[in-house]
Amino acid sequence: MKFQVLSLINHAPHPLTGELLSASARFEQVLVVGEAAERLGFDAYAIGERHTGPFLSSSPSVLLGALAARTSRIKLLTGVTVLAILDPVRVAEDYATLDQISRGRIELVVGKGAEAGHFDLFGLDEEHQWDLQAEKYELLRRLWSEEGVAWEGRFRPPLRGVTTLPRPYAGLPRVWHGSATSLNSPELAARHGDPLFTANAIQPRAAYAKLIAHYREKFQEYGHDPAHARVAAGSGGLLIADTAEQAVARYKDLYEARVRQNFKPHLEGRAGYNTPFRTVEDAIADGPQLIGSPQQIIDKILGYHEVYGHDLQSITVDGFGLSATEQTETLHRFAEEIAPVVRKEAPSTLWEA
């Protein structure tokens, strides 16, 4: 298995102390942790994209550009690029530029976004979210794989003989499809023979297993070799302690305060917005959160792998208000005590020649 570190660049006050870093300090924290991820042998680092709520990730291409300059090996991903609200021409230009700067290390994870409100912000009708996503993705593919593109659709003016510049570094970059609650993204990924990136962040395992099963079924129905159906999975945050008892004692107040802080009463009942795992004990036992001893976390990841068959596991270390030092220490423990075991038990050829 391969491993990715993801940051959504949460910018809410610390759930226990109320401390709030400046924006510049928070950005530097993200870059420092990205450098540490490469140094510790992680395979990828990802920046999310959010446009409403307490997040600083509205311009992931800028942060990824800074990371490209400060790293040399690690893959650089988005998580997700909210393609449904963006102009595919701009996306093609921005990320091809990053692909050139990083010499082919850029991969996109595209999706319609897991926020309520960004369609209104960009003057778009949320009722058309999946049509927007499908049309814009198909245009992006053409812009990256063809020159002199002639195109006409529903949601933007026509194109006549357009070649976006720069061109990608070495052909069409890999594009994953982010999937959290709907069968639409697995369907779109399967149709194009693309990989699927399931959120695996809030809901119970069965909800994500359904999306992955649909993807694998449709991938083969569309005529693609099922051996090429790549899957990645997120997680609801990583907190490591020496024992299960220490994990509960150390993180209970922190975890449960963050759950209360993130609760969105106006979205109660809508899948994918409020975690049902309200206590740290529930999260350890049944949630997608990776909280506990190294062995507990190994067992949980391998348990997900039995169901998902995933190639890439994404982890998040900055969602609970840990300092940069604490985040780096957590990544170090994961790289030393957890990753080698999981890599051996669940090998993957992703990103190998």
Confidence class for position 273, pLDDT limits 50, 70, 90: confident
Please report how the helices 184-192 and 205-221 are oriented relative to each other, as an axis angle in degrees rounded to 10: 30
Return the pLDDT at 270. 80
Quote the mean pLDDT of the chain. Answer: 96
Question: What does the pLDDT look like over 336-350, one tens digit per residue?
Answer: 999 999 999 999 999
Return the pLDDT at 51. 95
Would the pLDDT of 265 be above 90? no
**Alpha carbon 280 to chain centroid, angstroms:** 23
Token pair of 313 as six digits? 């596991």
Question: What does the pLDDT look like over 4-48, one tens digit per residue?
Answer: 999 999 999 999 999 999 999 999 999 999 999 999 999 999 999
Question: What does the pLDDT look like over 75-123, one tens digit per residue?
Answer: 999 999 999 999 999 999 999 999 999 999 999 999 998 776 899 999 9
Return the pLDDT at 83. 97
Question: What does the pLDDT look like over 198-248, one tens digit per residue?
Answer: 999 999 999 999 999 999 999 999 999 999 999 999 999 999 999 999 999
Return the pLDDT at 263. 87
Confidence class for position 145, pLDDT limits 50, 70, 90: very high
Q: Cβ-count burial of 120 within 10 angstroms (0-12 exposed, 13-18 middle, 19+ buried)?
A: exposed
Return the pLDDT at 281. 97
Would the pLDDT of 182 be above 90? yes
The CATH number fitting domain 2-233+299-345, selected from 3.40.640.10, 3.30.413.10, 3.40.50.10190, 3.20.20.30: 3.20.20.30
Return the pLDDT at 271. 79
Question: What does the pLDDT look like over 298-311, one tens digit per residue?
Answer: 999 999 999 999 99
- How much is the average pLDDT of 144-161? 97
Show the 3-state SS of the chain.
CEEEEEECCECCCCCCCCCCCCHHHHHHHHHHHHHHHHHCCCCEEEECCCCCCCECCCCHHHHHHHHHHHCCCCEEEECCEEHHHCCHHHHHHHHHHHHHHCCCCEEEEEECCCCCCHHHHCCCCHHHHHHHHHHHHHHHHHHHHCCCEEECCCCCCCEEEECCCCCCECECCCEEEEECCCCHHHHHHHHHCCCEEECCCCCCHHHHHHHHHHHHHHHHHCCCCHHHCCEEECCCCEEECCCHHHHHHHHHHHHHHHHHHHCCHHHCCCCCCCCCCCCHHHHHHHCCCEEECHHHHHHHHHHHHHHHCCCEEEECCCCCCCCHHHHHHHHHHHHHHHHHHHHHHCCCCCCCC
